[in-house]
Amino acid sequence: MKIVALAGGVGGAKLAHGLAQILPPEDLTVIVNTGDDFEHLGLSISPDLDTVCYTLAGLANFETGWGRADESWNAIANVKKLGGPNWFNLGDRDLGIHLERTRRLKLGQSLSQITRDFCQAWGVGPTVLPMSDGAVRTIVSTDEGDLPFQEYFVHRRCEPKVRGFRFEGIETAEPAPGVVEALQAADAIILCPSNPWVSIDPILQVIQLQSTVPHPPPIVAVSPIIGGQTVKGPAAKMYAELGIEPSALAVARHYQNLLRGFVLDTVDAELQEKIPIPTLVTNTLMKDLTDRATLAQAVLHFIRNLS
Ligand code: FO1
């Protein structure tokens, strides 16, 4: 069964990793949000892409979910000592990917080509694709004005109140090479438990499913909100500030007519009856590697029964 997973950072990477433990590598393509990308300290940084690649390569930091395991922080400590910005924690190992990506981008290589080469170097089996090779930049409109995503998320720790989002460059961003082909060959599309507003929406806007795949295979979403809280990141806070009660139900409504099935956590079982499409109620909290594979297996089983 050929699966395309749409993913943001940590939650998306975990489910993608679970899927990678079950599916043959040629049957899994992960399309990753690049709206969080930014330029910092002269480097081109693609946090979600790196989180997915590190996770699939077994190199990720298990505690934070982002960055590298066994990390040290000498370079960024020196940047601070010299008076530079240290609010975005770039570890010594992690710096290697940003240096090499920036070098290659400056030579004119595309983000998708660079990602393919990095994945090959790390022995990552599934295909990992940026949603686009064109620059898309998520801007968070807040009560303190517009903020680039990482400025809002990391520097300001999501403190300003959210008013809305826009994705600069999205109108002209083409899907990266391989994205349309993967979608057209897919037996199912999984929206990973990533932030619907800032991780999945930009991907959906770039790939334009209605025109790319007029007769799409089953699309299933896994809720990133469990018991009204996000496992990681600001999705629940965003919903609340936009006047929507944060819940798995709100996530199901967010995706509206797109879905054929919806996966929510056992703690939210009572919401099941309010969701007018087939649902799977299961443990969606991925605390360890086994949880990732177990959830992936359950989602694949659910999809097979939908078809
Ligand atoms: N997230 C943080 O909360 N603080 C950081 O200092 C930070 C550094 C960082 C470095 C490299 C990288 O690939 C990701 C990093 N992240 C950090 C995570 C990242 O900014 C966000 O999790 C995503 O953009 C949201 O999906």
pLDDT given at position 195: 94
The residue among 127, 132, 160, 129 whose CA lies nearest residue 146 is 160
With the most atoms of ligand 1 within 8 angstroms of its CB, the residue from 66, 128, 156 to mutate is 66
pLDDT given at position 231: 85
pLDDT given at position 226: 96
pLDDT given at position 235: 84
With the most atoms of ligand 1 within 8 angstroms of its CB, the residue from 154, 200, 232 to mutate is 154
Ligand 1 center to 302 CA (angstroms):
32
Task: Name the residue with the closest Cα to ligand 1, atom 13.
Answer: 47
Contact 183, 207 (CB under 8 A): yes
Ligand 1 center to 272 CA (angstroms):
33
- 121 burial via Cβ count (<10 Å: 0-12, 13-18, 19+): exposed
Ligand 1 center to 264 CA (angstroms):
26
Task: Name the residue with the closest Cα to ligand 1, atom 9.
Answer: 89
pLDDT given at position 236: 87
Q: How many Å apart are CA 307 and CA 304, to the nearest integer?
A: 5
pLDDT in 10s for each residue of the chain, 307 residues: 999 999 999 999 999 999 999 999 999 999 999 999 999 999 999 999 999 999 999 999 999 999 999 999 999 999 999 999 999 999 999 999 999 999 999 999 999 999 999 999 999 999 999 999 999 999 999 999 999 999 999 999 999 999 999 999 999 999 999 999 999 999 999 999 999 999 999 999 999 999 999 999 999 999 999 999 988 888 888 888 999 999 999 999 999 889 999 999 999 999 999 999 999 999 999 999 999 999 999 999 999 999 7
- pTM, to two decimals: 0.97
Ligand 1 center to 115 CA (angstroms):
18
CATH dotted code for 3-35+47-60+110-140+169-306: 3.40.50.10680
pLDDT given at position 238: 87
What residues line ligand 1, using a CB cutoff of 6 Å?
8-9, 36, 47-48, 50-51, 66-67, 88-90, 94, 150, 153-154, 233
Task: Name the residue with the closest Cα to ligand 1, atom 8.
Answer: 89
Ligand 1 center to 9 CA (angstroms):
9
Ligand 1 center to 152 CA (angstroms):
11
Question: Which atom number of ligand 1 is nearest to the Cα of residue 194?
Answer: 26
